[in-house]
Amino acid sequence: MPQVNYAKKEIQFKIVYYGPGMCGKTTNLQVIHEKVPAKAKGKMASLATSQDRTLFFDFLPLKAEAIEGYVCKFQMYTVPGQVKYNSTRKLVLRSCDGVVFVADSQLSKMQENKESLLNLEENLQAQGDTLAKMPLVFQYNKKDLPQIAPNQYMDFLLNNGSVKVPIIEASAIKGDGVLDTLNAIAKLVIQDFVAKKNQGN
Amino acid sequence: MAFELNVADCERIQKDLNEFLDLSEAQATLLCDRGGSILFSEGEFQEDAIDLICALVAGSFAATKELALALGEDEFSAIFHQGKNNSIFISAIGEEVLLLSIFSENTNAGLVKMYAKTACRKMQGLFAEIGDRSHVEAEDVTASFVIKKENLFE
């Protein structure tokens, strides 16, 4: 559940971009930072290596009036995709309210996508959450590249639970599908929160 | 853990933080959770940087915890970063909350550390109480949350 401050009329959601190394998580946040107007965003930070690979996380705070009478803040994080940084991914996932799983659409990356999704599921379970209950969006990224897998095949491999997760096709590097993904996950976390609160949870 | 703070909670926290600032002579202080979300701040902060500060405080504390584990400690319960003009002191309030104190070269670091410890002890009970509450009513108990707009970012 997000942090709620009734005195300040403020709700804070934490959204994490997850996925294998080099799938475009940081690019997503960079594009959001470029496209969103100044009044709706704060300072962005990237804790990266000298080779621009994410070492700890990228962070971008956003703000919007999504719920009547409240300011909604969205704290956007990415995790490092490289397999060796699992402890860091666990730390970043802490208290998250929604996840965007960025999958690399190149045929050669399907195994890495599957392993990363499995890793997400394990890390969520370790903190008492489940993938099935977590607001989740799949972004099938890199659709501009040759030799990509069709969506049906990616769904068969990744989106194969009893409830189908919304998917967004994207080419984050060109800016395509990035804001659609952001709006999709923002909508899900808000709906999840409103449903729980209005049920009295 | 997600905290829901009502008006009375905020007043109690504000009182404790102001008392801490007065006694320690620190310039500013804030509380955030270990997930990096801000809970409360007192003193001057740049509005567009405050969320980033919380994310980095939580990240820094988490990284230090891993370092502690690697060295055979459960956790370093406080960390201190010394700057040329300003320094920061981060201390844990229980398992979920962090207190950040920012103070200048004119403030005695020992004073900040001592009063931060007292403030943390004091607020630990309050946050345990807030965390144990199963439900928090908004001021207007008939109020419900209504979604205003769905496509938020264009």
Domain CATH code at residue A179: 3.40.50.300
Helix (H) or strand (E) holding B74: none
A201 within domain boundaries: no
Closest CA to A97 of A139, A68, A134, A56: A134
What is the domain count for chain A? 1
pLDDT given at position B48: 82
Partner-chain residue, chosen from B6, B55, B148, that has the shortest CB–CB distance to A66: B148
Q: Which of the 8 DSSP states describes residue A85?
A: G
Checking if the pLDDT of A55 tops 90, the result is no
**pLDDT tens per residue, range A137-181:** 999 999 999 999 999 999 999 999 888 999 999 999 999 999 999
- Cα atoms in the 13 Å half-sphere on the side-chain side of A60: 23
**pLDDT tens per residue, range A14-49:** 999 999 999 999 999 999 999 999 999 999 999 888
pLDDT given at position A54: 83
Interface test with B, best of A4, A6, A189 (most B CBs within 10 A): A6
What are the residue ranges of helices labelled H in chain A? 25-35, 86-93, 110-126, 151-157, 178-198
A200 within domain boundaries: no
Domain that holds residue B73: 7-132
A11 within domain boundaries: yes
Which residues, other chains included, contact B130 with Cβ-Cβ below 8 Å and sequence gap of 6+? B3, B4, B5, B9
At residue A74 the predicted structure's pLDDT band, cuts being 50, 70 and 90, is very high
Helix (H) or strand (E) holding B132: helix B109-132
B147 within domain boundaries: no
> What distance in Å separates residue A7's CA from the closest CA in chain B?
5
Q: CATH number for the domain including B37?
A: 3.30.450.30
What is the domain count for chain B? 1
The residues that bridge with B79 in the sheet, in sequence order, are: B90
Would an 8 Å CB–CB cutoff place B70 in contact with chain A? Answer: no
State ipTM: 0.85
**pLDDT tens per residue, range A113-146:** 999 999 999 999 999 999 999 999 999 999 999 9
At residue B138 the predicted structure's pLDDT band, cuts being 50, 70 and 90, is low
Residues 8-47 of chain A whose Cβ lies under 8 A from any Cβ of chain B: 8, 12, 14, 32, 35-36, 40, 42-45, 47
Domain that holds residue A118: 3-195
Task: Find where tokens 């475009």 sit.
Answer: A24
B74 within domain boundaries: yes
Q: Cβ(B120)–Cβ(B110) under 8 Å?
A: no
Residues 50-79 of chain A whose Cβ lies under 8 A from any Cβ of chain B: 56-57, 59, 61-62, 64-70, 72-73, 75, 77
Read off the tokens for A103. Answer: 């999958």
Would an 8 Å CB–CB cutoff place B148 in contact with chain A? Answer: yes
Checking if the pLDDT of B51 tops 70, the result is yes
B149 within domain boundaries: no
- First CA to last CA distance, chain A: 10
Interchain pair A68, B2: CB under 8 A: no
Interchain pair A5, B2: CB under 8 A: no
Cα Rg of chain B (Å, integer): 17
Closest CA to A11 of A78, A62, A79, A45: A62
Residue B95 and residue B104: Cα distance in Å, rounded? 28
Closest CA to B32 of A182, A64, A94, A60: A94
At residue B142 the predicted structure's pLDDT band, cuts being 50, 70 and 90, is low
Mean pLDDT of B40-49: 88
In whole numbers, what is the pLDDT of chain B averaged over residues?
A: 90
B73 within domain boundaries: yes
pLDDT given at position A52: 79
pLDDT given at position B131: 85
A168 within domain boundaries: yes
B17 within domain boundaries: yes
To 10 degrees, what angle do helices B109-132 and B7-24 make? 170
Cα separations in angstroms, A22 against A141, A180, A185, B22, B52: 11, 20, 21, 48, 24
A40 within domain boundaries: yes
B70 within domain boundaries: yes
At residue B22 the predicted structure's pLDDT band, cuts being 50, 70 and 90, is very high
**pLDDT tens per residue, range B143-152:** 678 887 778 8
Interchain pair A14, B52: CB under 8 A: no
Residue A17 and residue A33: Cα distance in Å, rounded? 14
Torsion of CA A185, A32, B38, A195, to 10 degrees: -20
What are the residue ranges of helices labelled H in A5-147? 25-35, 86-93, 110-126
The residues that bridge with B30 in the sheet, in sequence order, are: B41, B100
Read off the tokens for A127. Answer: 């903190």
Give me the percent of chain B exceeding a pLDDT of 70.
Answer: 94
